[in-house]
Each structure stands twice: as structure tokens, then as C-alpha cells.
Chain A
């Protein structure tokens, strides 16, 4: 069974940083491109970033470009999202999602507030 378990969310002040992790199991993690998707309160989902299976190619939504960095450790079956210069409008549940959007984690809540 495919499992994606996010962690690392929490409350942070504007301008602060957080690092999210996603532990993957039940499939060959190193073979799959992965995404981060977020959903703000009362809003629809927003695609954030994608990384290829090797970690050598990444792409970001304009809203996070230059502030967020996606990475992975295939030896640890773990996906990461380093979030810097956080803004109030980054407040959301962040989901780790497998390549074809067929498997989603339960999400981790990031709240940016003073």
C-alpha cells in the first residue's frame, strides 16, 4: 500500500522558515517524480512544485519561486520542501503527492502568523 506521511508543519512568523518532510513507502520512491500541493483555508488546491526522480530537475509555481526549494533523498525515501521568507498567504495544508497525482499524503498544516 502506498503511504505518504508529511511532517514538519507548524506556526511560524512572517519571514521565517520551515522544512517539510514526506516519508514514502509502499512503492519504489526513487522511480517516481513527486509534487507538493497546498490548500489554503477555504481555498482550492494549488500546485507548488515538482521534482524528477533523480532530484536533478525541479520546477515551481510563480508564487513560491525563489523562496521554496524542493529536494529528495532517495536513500531515505523522503521528499522535502524548504520554505523560506514565509508570508501570511503561504498558510495552508501542504500535501506530498506522487507523480500522477494518484496518491496523496494526509497533509501537514503550515500557519504563518505574527
Chain B
């Protein structure tokens, strides 16, 4: 089964911009992997922020966006807020099966 890799941890200053990435062991991430991005805070179920690479849910703050960058899926946070400190997980589809990344712990400091 494929392995999906994310940065273990990142730090961003309040108001700053940070890019989280998601790589696949099988090769470049494409739109055919239907990349998802989730935010998870302690004691809560994950909340989907982005689906199908760059689409947002109605509850997704405008400061979050998704794209493909350099063969990876990317989650860009522009104008970080203290409440954005959380774990972030990407999810990729492999012909019907799905694989989560290991997660990125984002610190806003």
C-alpha cells in the first residue's frame, strides 16, 4: 500500500503564511488522487477543510487554500491565526482505497 508523507511539524508566526505538503510514494500527486486536507484538534474528530485538491467546504476559513505544487498536494495557510494551531492530515485516493498522511503538527508562535 502507498505511503503518504507530510512534514512532521511546522511553525508559523501569527499573520504569516505557511505551506504544508503531501507526497506519495508512488510518484507525483495528481488531481486523480483527489487530495483532501483535514484539521484535527485534541479530542475531536477530523474536520475536512479541502477536497478534490482545492475545493473548500462552506465552513472552511478563507485563509486556507489547496493546490498541487511540485508533484505534491499543498495546503496553504495565509494569515495564520492562533486557533489554526492543530494537526493537519492529507488524504489521497488510490483507485478506490484511501491513505492518510502521517500528519503535520502546526504551531502558531
A interface list, Cβ under 8 A from B? 35, 37, 44-47, 50, 59-63, 95, 100-102, 104-107
Contact = CB atoms under 8 A, between A and B. Distances in A.
Contacts of B91: 47, 101
B100 A44 contact: yes
Interface size class of B (residues with CB under 8 A): 20 to 34
Contacts of B87: 44
Interface string B47-62: 0100100000100000
A23 B51 CA distance: 25
A61 B97 contact: yes
Contacts, number: 46
> Which label, helix, strand, loop or mixed, suits the secondary structure of the B interface?
strand
A44 B57 contact: no
Nearest to B102: A44
B45 A95 contact: yes
A61 B100 CA distance: 11
Given A101-B51, A102-B57, A47 B46 contact: no
A34 B43 CA distance: 23
B99 interface: yes
B96 interface: yes
Given A45-B89, A101-B91, A104-B46, A50 B98 contact: yes
Contacts of A61: 1, 97
A35 B98 CA distance: 10
A17 to B, nearest CB: 24
A40 B38 CA distance: 17
A104 B45 contact: yes
Contact of A105 (B45, B96, B98, B101): B45
Interface in B10-68: 36, 38, 40, 45-46, 48, 51, 57
